[in-house]
Chains A and B, each alone.
Chain A
Amino acid sequence: MPAISAEKLQKAYSSIWGKRVSPAQSASNGSQTNALTGLTLEVREGETFGFLGPNGAGKTTTILLLLNLIRPTSGSVELFGRPATDFAVHRRLGYLPESVNLHDYYTGRGLLEFYAGLLEVPISGRKARIADLLQLLRLEDAAEKRVSKYSKGMLQRLGFAQAMLHDPDLLILDEPTASLDPVGRKEFRDILLELKRRGKTIFISSHILSEVETVCDRVAILEKGELKKVGTLQELSSSTSTRLFLRNVPGTVLEALSKMPAEVTMISGHVTIKCADAGTRAAVEELLRQYNIQPDKSEVETQSLENIFFSSIAPPPKL
C-alpha cells in the first residue's frame, strides 16, 4: 500500500471571493491561477521521496492538500490507503511546514508537551521522549526558554522535534533545512538517514538539490503545477552514455575501435571507450567479442540531479 497516493489532483486558486472554477474555465480567466494540474503521484512506504520544483511550482499546495488543509478542485489524495480528509490518518504522519509558525507563548518544552497531548503520546513515556528530542536537536539548553526568543534555526529544529514526537510512519517536510546553518544541515541529514534506515517514509520538498540527491530514493520534478519527471536518479538520467574500461588492448583492436563512433582514450595502458548511445555500445561490444576481449568494467553515465532538474524545467529568463 502506498504511503501517499495522489490521483489527477487539480487545484485552482481564484482571487475573487475565493470562488473556485474548473481548470478549463480558468485558462481563459486572468484572475485565477492553476496551482496544480492533474498531479498523479505515488510514494511507497519506506521510501525517501524528494519533491522538487522552482518557486510557485505547486509543492506547498500539494503538501497542504495532503494534510487536508485545503481542498482539491478535483482529484483525490490518499494517505496509507485512506482519504486525506480522514483526520485519524494524521496519527501516522508528522509535518514540518516551510515557515515554522509556532505558538510563541510556550517554552520549547511546553510546546512539545502541548503537541504530545494532541498526538496522544502516552503520558508514561512523554517526558522522556521530549527530553530525547530536545537533546537530539540540541535544544536542551533552550528548553525552558520562551519560543518567542528562539532564533530561526532553533524554531526550525523545534518544528522538526514536534513532527517526530509520536515517531510517525510518514514525515512530510517542506523546505526542512531552509533556516539551518551548515552544521545544522549535516545533523539534519544524518537524522533523516537514520529515519530512512528505520524504514520511515519521508516526503521532502526542497530547493537544496545536493541534499535531496544524498538522501532520496526517488524524486519528482514539478513545474507550474505539472509533474515533469518522476523516478530514481538513475531512471531520470536521460543520458544513455556508457563507459567501458579495458586494459592491455592490442593495437589491431584499438585501430578497429578508432573507426567506430565511440570516443576512445588511452592512459598508461588503460583504455576507456565512451559510447554515446546504445547502438554504439552494442557495436563496440560486438567488436570486442570478436577479439575475445571482456571489458574490466562498464559504467552507465548518470547526470547530476542539478542537470536533471534544469533540463526538466523551462530555462530561466536571460538577464
Chain B
Amino acid sequence: MNVIFLIARDSIRALLHQRLLIALILVSLGLTVVSTIIMNFQRRQINDEFLDGADMNSPAFKNMSEEDKRRMQETMEQSMSTIEAFFYAAGSFGGSLVSLFIFSTAVTSEIRRGTIRLTLSKPISRIQYLLGKYLGGVVVMAAYAIIASLAMVVFSASSHVELSPVMKWAPWLMFCRQLMLGSLAMLLSLFVHPAIAGALAFFAGNGFYSVHNPLYYVLPSYAPFNIFFQILQGAFVDGHDVALLTLYAMDFVILMLLLSWWRFQRKEVC
C-alpha cells in the first residue's frame, strides 16, 4: 500500500511540474470564471432594464405591477440558472480536458522518457504502479473539482445570488465523469498514442449512438452525469440518483483499471 502512495505522490509531483497541464488547468478555471463574469454582467443588464438600476426596496420596484414583478422574477431566475449552467459546462469541459491529459499520459509519458525502467526495476508490481498512477491523477482531479467548486461559491456570493439545489451535486457528478473518462483514456493509452486515446475516450460515450445501435449498450454512459439541462430548467436531482450514478462510475472505473492492468502486464516497457 505504501508503494502505491509513493507512486501516487511522485505522480502528483510530476503533474505539477508539467507546464502544459498547469496552463490547461488555469485556462479551464479561467474559462469558468470568465463565463460567470459574462453571465453575471448580462444578469445585471436585465436587472437594470427592469429596474433602471434600482434595487427591490426602491420606489421603482414598489410601484411596479404584480405582473411585471412576476415577469422580472422569472427572468432573474432564468438568468441565474443560465449562469450556473454555463459555469457548470465550462468547469466540466475544462475538467474533462485536464482529466484526459492527466490519465492518457500518466503511464505513457514515463515509458517515453524512460523513467519507468528504473521504477519497475524496484520491487513493485505492475498493478501497484498502475494504481499509484491512477491515484495520483484522482488527487489532482479532486483538487481541480474543489477549486472549481470554491470558484462557484465565491462568484455566487459576490453576485448575491443563491445557488440552485441541483448545483450542490454538480462538482461530485463532474468529478465522477472525469474519473470515468480518465480511466478509459488510461486504458486506451496503453494501446494507442495518448492524443488518440484522449480523443477516443472523450467521444466514446454512448450519447453519440442511438438505443438501436448495439454499441449503445457497450460504451460508457457519460450523459447521466451531465446535468447542464437540469440546471438550466431548474430540475431536481435527488440523492438516490446520485448514489446510483456514483456506483455506476465506480463500477466502470474498476472495470477499466482491471483491463488496464491486463494490458499493462503484457506491455513491454522499453
Check B122–A115 contact: CB distance below 8 A.
yes
Closest residue of chain B to A99 (Cβ to Cβ) is: B114
Check B268–A91 contact: CB distance below 8 A.
no
Check A69–B270 contact: CB distance below 8 A.
yes
- Given A69-B268, A120-B123, A103 and B117 contact (CB-CB distance below 8 Å): no
Assess whether A95 is interfacial by the CB under 8 Å rule.
yes
Assess whether B6 is interfacial by the CB under 8 Å rule.
yes
Assess whether B119 is interfacial by the CB under 8 Å rule.
yes
Question: Which residues of chain B (6-28) have a CB below 8 Å from chain A?
Answer: 6-7, 10, 13-14, 17
Check B14–A118 contact: CB distance below 8 A.
no
Question: CB-CB < 8 A to B3: which residues of A?
Answer: 117-118
A91 to B120 CA separation, bound complex (whole angstroms): 11
Question: CB-CB < 8 A to B17: which residues of A?
Answer: 105
Assess whether B113 is interfacial by the CB under 8 Å rule.
yes
A10 to chain B, nearest CB (A): 15
Assess whether A93 is interfacial by the CB under 8 Å rule.
yes
A69 to B118 CA separation, bound complex (whole angstroms): 10
Question: CB-CB < 8 A to B124: which residues of A?
Answer: 87, 90, 118
Contact partner of B122 (CB less than 8 A), chosen from A18, A64, A90, A103, is A90
Question: CB-CB < 8 A to B233: which residues of A?
Answer: none
Question: CB-CB < 8 A to A91: which residues of B?
Answer: 123
Question: CB-CB < 8 A to A310: which residues of B?
Answer: none
Assess whether B121 is interfacial by the CB under 8 Å rule.
yes
Contact with A along B123-148 (1 / 0, CB 8 A): 11110000000000000000000000
A101 to B269 CA separation, bound complex (whole angstroms): 14
Assess whether A287 is interfacial by the CB under 8 Å rule.
no
B16 to chain A, nearest CB (A): 8
Dominant secondary structure of chain B at its interface with chain A: helix
Assess whether A257 is interfacial by the CB under 8 Å rule.
no
Check B269–A97 contact: CB distance below 8 A.
no
A91 to B121 CA separation, bound complex (whole angstroms): 9
- Given A87-B123, A90-B122, A105-B14, A71 and B115 contact (CB-CB distance below 8 Å): no
Closest residue of chain A to B116 (Cβ to Cβ) is: A69
A290 to B138 CA separation, bound complex (whole angstroms): 89
Assess whether B212 is interfacial by the CB under 8 Å rule.
no
A102 to B115 CA separation, bound complex (whole angstroms): 6
Assess whether A114 is interfacial by the CB under 8 Å rule.
yes
A67 to B121 CA separation, bound complex (whole angstroms): 6
Check B118–A162 contact: CB distance below 8 A.
yes
Question: Which residues of chain A (255-289) have a CB below 8 Å from chain B?
Answer: none
Assess whether B266 is interfacial by the CB under 8 Å rule.
yes
Contact with A along B79-113 (1 / 0, CB 8 A): 00000000000000000000000000000000001
Check B117–A114 contact: CB distance below 8 A.
no
Contact with B along A52-87 (1 / 0, CB 8 A): 000000000000100111110000000000000001
Closest residue of chain B to A110 (Cβ to Cβ) is: B13
A4 to chain B, nearest CB (A): 14
Question: Which residues of chain A (121-173) have a CB below 8 Å from chain B?
Answer: 159, 162
Check B115–A101 contact: CB distance below 8 A.
yes
Check B122–A119 contact: CB distance below 8 A.
yes
Closest residue of chain A to B10 (Cβ to Cβ) is: A114
A120 to B1 CA separation, bound complex (whole angstroms): 12
B131 to chain A, nearest CB (A): 14
Assess whether A88 is interfacial by the CB under 8 Å rule.
yes
Contact partner of A103 (CB less than 8 A), chosen from B6, B14, B121, B125, is B14
Closest residue of chain B to A148 (Cβ to Cβ) is: B17
Question: CB-CB < 8 A to B266: which residues of A?
Answer: 71
Check A90–B123 contact: CB distance below 8 A.
yes
A118 to B115 CA separation, bound complex (whole angstroms): 14
Check B6–A117 contact: CB distance below 8 A.
yes
Question: CB-CB < 8 A to A93: which residues of B?
Answer: 121
Check A117–B2 contact: CB distance below 8 A.
yes
A93 to B6 CA separation, bound complex (whole angstroms): 20
Question: CB-CB < 8 A to B2: which residues of A?
Answer: 117, 120
A93 to B122 CA separation, bound complex (whole angstroms): 8
A199 to chain B, nearest CB (A): 21
Closest residue of chain A to B16 (Cβ to Cβ) is: A105
Check B118–A101 contact: CB distance below 8 A.
yes
- Given A103-B115, A105-B13, A69 and B121 contact (CB-CB distance below 8 Å): yes
B residues neighboring A (CB under 8 Å): 2-3, 6-7, 10, 13-14, 17, 113-115, 117-126, 266, 268-270
Taking A69-B269, A118-B119 as known contacts, 15 extra A-B pairs with beta carbons closer than 8 A to each other, sorted by chain A number, are: A18-B268, A64-B270, A67-B117, A67-B121, A69-B268, A87-B125, A89-B123, A90-B123, A95-B121, A97-B114, A115-B118, A118-B3, A118-B124, A119-B122, A162-B118
18 contacts between A and B (CB under 8 A): A67-B117, A67-B120, A68-B120, A71-B266, A90-B121, A97-B118, A99-B114, A101-B115, A101-B117, A103-B10, A103-B14, A105-B14, A105-B17, A106-B13, A114-B10, A115-B122, A118-B123, A120-B2
